[in-house]
Amino acid sequence: MNTNNKRSDKLILRLFIAGKTLRCITALNNLKLICEESMKGKYKIEVIDILKNPKLAKENQILAIPTLVRKLPLPRKNIIGDLSDRELVIAGLNYRTNI
């Protein structure tokens, strides 16, 4: 379990957006804020604009925008919406319980 914890220490997130719409920017800002505040240094955010890279939308089965994908730690998890509720996002990412 310990080794597992170490490995999953790092949170790898992917945020799918479609252009610079208000909702997408809000989501990105919310995410950044939450991560900075609660898990500083332990996360990595990758932002993917499906307008620029539509193939990735297919590969990742993205429908709703914005979608936040927790790639690591497993299991993969998706959160859709503009991430406007901080507590829910933290709970949703399951960050604390996983440690």
Partner 1 sequence: MRTTKNNFKRKTLPKSPTSIQGLDEITGGGLPKGRPTLVCGGAGCGKTLFAMEFLVRGATEYNEPGVFISFEETENELTSNVASLGFDLKKLVAQKKIWLEHIHVEREEIEQIGDYDLEGLFVRIHYAIESIGAKRVVLDTLETLFSELPNSQILRSELRRLFNWLKKKGVTTIITAERGDGTLTRNGLEEYVSDCVILLDHRVNDQSSIRRLRIVKYRGSTHGTNEYPFLIDEDGFSVLPVTSLGLNYDSSLERISTGIPRLDTMLSGKGYFRGSTVLVSGTAGTGKTSIAAQFVEAACKRGEKVLYFTFEESPGQLTRNMKSIGIDLEPWERKGLLQFHATRPTLYGLETHLTTSIKLINQFKPGIVILDPINGFMIGENQTEVKNMLLRLVDFLKMKRITAFFTSLTTANDNLENSDVYVSSLIDTWLLLRDIEIGGERNRGLYVLKSRGMAHSNQIREFRLTNDGIELVDVYVGVDGVLTGSARLSRELEDDAEKLLRQQEIGSKQFSLERKREAMEAQIIVLRSEFEAEESESLKIIGIEKARNERFSKDKAEMAKSRKGDIPLKTIKTKKKK
Based on the shown chain and the rule CB under 8 A, indicate whether residue 50 belongs to the binding site for partner 1: yes
Based on the shown chain and the rule CB under 8 A, indicate whether residue 16 belongs to the binding site for partner 1: yes
Based on the shown chain and the rule CB under 8 A, indicate whether residue 43 belongs to the binding site for partner 1: no
Burial class (CB in 10 A: 0-12, 13-18, 19+), 7: exposed
Ramachandran angles phi, psi of 86, nearest 5°:
-55, -50
Based on the shown chain and the rule CB under 8 A, indicate whether residue 57 belongs to the binding site for partner 1: yes
C-beta separation of 8 from 38 below 8 A? no
| Residues in touch with partner 1 (CB under 8 A) | 16, 18, 21, 23, 26-27, 30, 50-51, 54-55, 57-58, 61-67, 75-85, 88-89, 92
